[in-house]
Chain A
């Protein structure tokens, strides 16, 4: 089963906003409000940034926000900072036997 589709890379300048998309199907992203986003810095474990489409765990900056429209979920980072440079992965519950799927990941570069 294919992973959720994310752009391979996005970039932005400090202070700008960027959006990362995550496209699935009605069996996963479109069918359930169980989309999460993880941030991973090189050599480190991932960190939960958004869950249930738009909820932020305690301690996560409000510069990070999530949304969903149809089969596509989005992560928006506003006021980009150098420390935001990392890989970002979306994940979603799926009704298939895979149970949970990740996107292929998006490398965010802060110019």
Chain B
């Protein structure tokens, strides 16, 4: 069965960076892209972007351009999302999700989420 298992919760100071991992299993990793979505406490969902696990092509939301980097390690079927220059409003649960087809949305399997708290 398809599973996406994410790394644990993080607490970071403003200006720091965070890197969240997402280990996939149960399907051919390079056949589908990985999307990242975040959700601030009590708020709605926000697309961050996606990466092709086949060739590493990325597409980031303009709002996060310059601060976010998505990568994959095909040898371990793991995707990573790094967010730099953290701000208080980056506090959110970060989800990775497998594309239903190709690399872009919709997404059909989700990780359990990783809470990133930005606090001084």
Contact = CB atoms under 8 A, between A and B. Distances in A.
Interface in A50-97: 51-52, 57, 89, 91, 93, 97
A40 B113 CA distance: 13
Contact of B44 (A36, A97, A100, A105): A105
B106 A3 contact: no
Interface in B27-44: 37, 44
Contact of A104 (B44, B59, B113): B44
Contact of A45 (B44, B49, B63, B113): B113
B45 A48 contact: no
Contacts, number: 59
Contact of A38 (B45, B61, B111, B113): B45
Nearest to B44: A105
A89 B97 CA distance: 15
Given A51-B100, A91-B105, A46 B45 contact: yes
Interface string B69-102: 0000000000000000000000000010100100
Contacts of A91: 45, 47, 105-106
B44 A3 contact: yes
Contacts of A100: 47, 61, 104-105
Give the size range of A's interface with the partner.
20 to 34
A52 B104 CA distance: 13
A98 B63 contact: yes
Interface of A: 3, 34, 36, 38, 40, 45-48, 51-52, 57, 89, 91, 93, 97-105
7 contacts: A3-B44, A48-B108, A98-B47, A98-B61, A98-B63, A99-B61, A102-B47
